[in-house]
Amino acid sequence: MVNIAELRARSNKMSQRELAEEMGVTQSQISRWEKDPLTMSSVNLVKVALFFGVTTDELLGVKQG
C-alpha cells in the first residue's frame, strides 16, 4: 500500500493544500483520504492515482496474487 502522504512527500514535498487545489477538493478531504483511502469516491480515487502515476489498487492496499 502506498500512502497519499508518502506520494506527496515524493512529489517535491507537496502540501495537502496544493494537492487539494489540484484535485478540486478541500484540504480536509485530503487529510481524511490519507487516514482512510476508502473514504474516497471512485472518481477521486482515479484522479489521485493518475496524478501520482500509481494504480488504484496500490492506493487501496489491494495485494495481487
Q: What is the CATH number of the domain that holds 20?
A: 1.10.260
Q: Which domain range does residue 51 map to?
A: 4-60
Answer whether 0.85 is exceeded by the pTM: yes
Report pLDDT for 63: 83
How many domains are contained in the chain? Answer: 1
Answer yes or no: is pLDDT of 30 > 70: yes
Mean pLDDT of 15-24: 96
Report pLDDT for 65: 67
Average pLDDT taken over every residue of the chain: 93
Distance between CA atoms of residues 15 and 5, nearest Å: 9
Report pLDDT for 32: 96
Report pLDDT for 61: 86
